[in-house]
Structure 1
């Protein structure tokens, strides 16, 4: 049965009867605790990793490797900004995702890869065999697993903020960006005598390698969320993980120091992934527009507002217009846009048969909020 949307008139009638105000539920407290634990674990892991890198590089000053690693990281974060512009994810969860990639995933992968290198070298009596095994087998399997595990944890802890493939790609990109950032520090410190060449290969020619791999996992998880079957998301995540492993293996097998590979293979793959994400973003915008029009039918939005909210150009124009009316109007417009996107997501869950009582309460709260914010940026709050 299609979830009925409360009308604006009905909401005003309830308000006149002094209906109890919505209040934030305490069910989120355990998520706050787990978020703190996740973030602290990432910070500790990153700190331990830096100490290991420093010790293994003979006490090399890590400032230069750190600063150089910021260059490709900034490129990755610009991509995140582009993908996430329509419906920005919570900053706290993005920070936790980054710390997982830079701390936990990188540290665990380094330990397992080093252990596998030593084990295979001892079994085969060949250091070369150990290195090859780590590069072609251990690294793709373990690194993609640790990054995928971060994605799964985020989904399990914050199910309602991961609403589809675009969200999955956002979190995958942030985790992979954190992983690549820490790994680049490791490589820049380890090969300081070849720093210029390593920086060009890793920081300039292939800053998005890990992003492309892990985006497969994130996109697959996002597609699986709305599939039938309780565990469909897990099956799709596994499929995406296998795709990431294959890409990672192929990359390690073929790349090496070959510039032709980066220019003729990695660049087209990145462009294709960008085109796919662009398509998914446009599809998400259409879905949001459809969902918000349901609220418009209840009197909560005008069609012009829906058009403004569901295009990047419209949102920029709306924000610019509000800015011209002062900082308070600008903040109200930004809040209006953010709350409207959350409403579109809630409506999408109801249409998919996944909405619950918490969504229903949150919907009422947000509908009240967008009405109040509209009054502010239109200058009617003091009228």
Structure 2
């Protein structure tokens, strides 16, 4: 059987060891995150720090799971997601701590006084600094990993990852301050507000930058205006939230309703983009039916999340974990192939890149299909429950020319 690295193909990277750029990025972001935790631990006593850390970590698994659910049809590379999260928890937090402090000390406090300086820092300085720092990793991904940002959903997912990392570290500080300022009662109020009522605040702000970056990655025109408009939207939403705090519960309630409506809009955009992807599956994959890699029944299966899940369960039942993994590779390879066609139609990739990438994905689908056959008892073709399939029968040779 052909030897290849399925995950490397799906991630759009060179098989083998991680790149030096990725290693350096991980080291820098992790070091910044650890340094921030060390500072928090030094500033507070042991009990205060660990209580703040525990409360900040508590909602993170739930929030991360909710974000990743948005991207089930075409999951983003784990390395990129981890890098985005660590950037938010490390580089963005360290940069914000330094720049916000310097901005207050040398700009807002001298011009407006101590009290008004704090207000100006919170409502103007902090949103500009923090959203720019969080958005920076999205700009990095746009520059180095543009082909992984296939649409609105990807922009939102990456934005949410960096924002959740930032919010987690920021919450540690807020919870520690709450304990020092008012004890348990104050801590409970802050946790309810930041951990339960508005845990998606930062992800919603930064999602605006993610939308701009997604547009830039998938269109040939208007890239810079789109990115700048997205960043401006993130700053505005962040400033509105911070400014509303000055008006107490009523102000926060108004902004909370606004953010909730924005959340519904983003979920609607994700829903319609997913429907559009299903339409693209039905449009592009039929051209590959003559290759034997797919059948009309496979195309129907690939265009429905529940049927894809059922297909993986069927593969596991007839061939074990290896077959389930092969089915997952097959599904993701087919989805990446459709997205590749979409990007070619949009004119954001070159024909040579399309041809090379397409050959890799077709090879992946062929090898995954072969692995499914070899994992079955007796290695006999078994018709899947969704009907006659390209996943039953001898493995074909993928075509070398665009159909």
The alignment's TM-score, normalised by the length of structure 1, stands at 0.86
Distance 2:133 2:16 in 1: 26
In structure 1, which of residues 69, 82, 104 is the aligned counterpart of residue 91 of structure 2?
104
**Cα 1:200/1:366, change in 2 over 3 Å:** same
Following superposition, the deviation at residue 54 of structure 1 comes to: 2.5
Task: Tell me, yes or no, if structure 1 residue 377 matches structure 2 residue 372.
Answer: yes
Matches within 5 A, 1:212-223: 212-223=204-215
In structure 2, which of residues 303, 312, 315 is the aligned counterpart of residue 322 of structure 1?
315
Distance 1:370 1:75 in 2: 33
Distance 2:261 2:270 in 1: 14
CA contact (8 A) 1:120 1:129 kept: no
Distance 1:29 1:123 in 2: 54
Match of residue 80 from structure 1: 67
CA contact (8 A) 1:60 1:189 kept: no
Task: Tell me, yes or no, if structure 1 residue 290 matches structure 2 residue 283.
Answer: yes
Distance 1:272 1:350 in 2: 28
Task: Tell me, yes or no, if structure 1 residue 69 matches structure 2 residue 64.
Answer: no
Which deviates further from its counterpart, 63-72 or 95-104? 63-72
CA contact (8 A) 2:322 2:375 kept: no
In structure 2, which of residues 271, 274, 282 is the aligned counterpart of residue 278 of structure 1?
271
Match of residue 306 from structure 1: 299
Aligned-partner SS, 1:221: helix
Distance 1:327 1:241 in 2: 43
Aligned-partner SS, 1:62: helix
Following superposition, the deviation at residue 316 of structure 1 comes to: 1.1
User: What is the RMSD computed on CA atoms of the aligned residues?
Assistant: 2.6
**Cα 1:347/1:298, change in 2 over 3 Å:** farther
Matches within 5 A, 1:181-330: 181-192=168-179, 193=183, 194-229=186-221, 232-255=222-245, 257-258=248-249, 260-261=253-254, 264-296=257-289, 298-325=291-318, 326-330=320-324
Which deviates further from its counterpart, 302-311 or 208-217? 302-311
Distance 2:258 2:339 in 1: 36
Distance 1:58 1:125 in 2: 33
Matches within 5 A, 1:49-60: 49-57=36-44
In structure 1, which of residues 345, 349, 353 is the aligned counterpart of residue 343 of structure 2?
349
Distance 2:160 2:279 in 1: 23
Task: Tell me, yes or no, if structure 1 residue 362 matches structure 2 residue 357.
Answer: yes
Task: Tell me, yes or no, if structure 1 residue 144 matches structure 2 residue 139.
Answer: no
Task: Tell me, yes or no, if structure 1 residue 117 matches structure 2 residue 104.
Answer: yes
Following superposition, the deviation at residue 317 of structure 1 comes to: 1.2
Aligned-partner SS, 1:345: helix
CA contact (8 A) 1:42 1:99 kept: yes
Following superposition, the deviation at residue 151 of structure 1 comes to: 0.2
Match of residue 389 from structure 2: none
Match of residue 159 from structure 2: 172
The alignment's TM-score, normalised by the length of structure 2, stands at 0.82
Aligned-partner SS, 2:74: coil
Distance 2:195 2:64 in 1: 14
Task: Tell me, yes or no, if structure 1 residue 36 matches structure 2 residue 23.
Answer: yes
CA contact (8 A) 2:147 2:217 kept: no
Following superposition, the deviation at residue 368 of structure 1 comes to: 2.3
Following superposition, the deviation at residue 142 of structure 1 comes to: 0.8
Unaligned ranges ≥5, structure 1 = 1-14, 16-22
Structure 1 residue ranges (4+ consecutive) displaced by more than 6 angstroms after TM superposition: 23-31
Aligned-partner SS, 2:155: helix
Distance 1:59 1:157 in 2: 41
Unaligned ranges ≥5, structure 2 = 3-7, 381-403
